Amino acid sequence: MALRWIEGFENIGPTNITSGALQDALAAKWDTTFLWPLCELTTGRNGYGTSFQFSPRLDRYLEQIFDSQDTWIVGFGCRGAVVFPADQYILDLKGADNPQVRLKRIASGELQAWTGGTLVGTTVGAGLAESQWSYIQVKTYIHDTAGTIEIRVDDAVVLTLSGIDTDTYGVGTVSKIRFWADSDARLDDIYICDSTGASHNDFLGQCRVVGLQLDGDGMLSQWEASGAASHYTYLNETPIDGDAGYIQAQVSGDADMFSTTLVNPSFDVLGLQFNAATRTLSAQRWDLHYRIDSNGTIENLSSGHTYSAFRDYHTNFGISVVDPDTGVAWTPAGINNATFGVKAV
């Protein structure tokens, strides 16, 4: 499994959320952000749900930090600005803090691939246009002499480079992925994969990210809620409300389970990402698992983070691509029959 990250800007906040409130909500989820002022949430790609809109005048970015990998595949919906500004970088794949591979959108509607400060190729037929959604996918292999970059737009291959030096800064890998713009371009339906594992290690094609929300309490409610109402009611607000309403665990092994809103039965499901905003109240080390109950089969999914010491709310995410009940890819029916929750470790 090498699906690493999904972001559709669903369940972040209302479409009129702007500036400081949006900065706080996305900073609690992404590792590094610079959004304020004038960024906002707005109508999603192709009219579905919500997307993120950059500031109309200023360089702003969202960045996620991973482990070091030599190969990454990144897909994202990108809507051109209302009026194209000057050429601008829209994606950086960084080794340490340096952009090993960069994508720049140019006024003609093509994309340029750069390695550090060197232009290495320009797409043919990308067709990016003002106020129009396109789905961009890029796959790159970081290597001194055998590096590769492939770019697809709306599933058409528009640039293929091989035998190039993509290891611009000599670190051999990429570990940070940054989306950015200095215009009112929009961003939606992001997936990020590395090349490890038996699946999700190459282009996934055009994707849509759908947000599910908690809509009821499940079989276990072992955590303590901050009030007397059903537990899910303290967890399903957008944007997250911090200490205004929460559940908390003080006993290792305690779990809290929930039903969720439903997935459209016609969808092909490529993976699930669980996002829970969490913080610690003490300096004790503490970990969280996402607990899946699929038709009675339980999986405790690592969230990949162990917390220690007091900290602000941050999203502790987990990814699942296989239904533990069937041992194969999730289906809408499998998701809709399952319950999901959290378990203190």
Would you tell me which residues interact with Ca ion (CB under 5 A)? 8-9, 44, 49-50, 188, 234, 241, 245
Strands 272-278 and 133-141: unpaired
Query: Quick one: tokens of 196?
Result: 């490890």
Instruction: Establish how many alpha carbons lie within 13 A of residue 107's alpha carbon, considering only the half-sphere containing its beta carbon.
Output: 4
Nearer to Ca ion, 49 or 99 (CB): 49
CB burial of residue 122 (10 Å; 0-12, 13-18, 19+): middle
Least distance from C-beta 6 to Ca ion, angstroms?
Answer: 10
Residue 19: Cβ within 10 Å count? 14
Closest distance of CB 269 from Ca ion, Å: 16
Give the residue with the Cβ less far from Ca ion, 98 or 261.
Answer: 261
Q: For Ca ion, give the closer residue by CB, 50 or 273.
A: 50
Residue 86 in contact with residue 69, Cβ under 8 Å?
A: no
Tokens, residue 140? 């790159």
Q: How far is the CB of 40 from Ca ion (least distance, A)?
A: 13
Give whichever of 9 and 135 is closer to Ca ion, judged by the CB atom: 9
Tell me the sheet residues that pair with 301.
290
CA distances from 144 to 120, 147, 168, 244 (A): 14, 6, 8, 51
Query: Closest approach of Cβ 18 to Ca ion, in Å?
Result: 17
- Between 49 and 271, name the residue whose CB sits nearer to Ca ion: 49
- Nearest approach in angstroms of CB 75 to Ca ion is 13
Nearer to Ca ion, 159 or 240 (CB): 240
144, 165 Cβ separation under 8 angstroms: yes
What is the Cβ-side half-sphere exposure of residue 219, based on CA atoms within 13 angstroms?
A: 11
C-beta of 188: minimal distance to Ca ion in Å?
4
* Residue count of the chain: 345
| Token couple for 308 | 């220690």
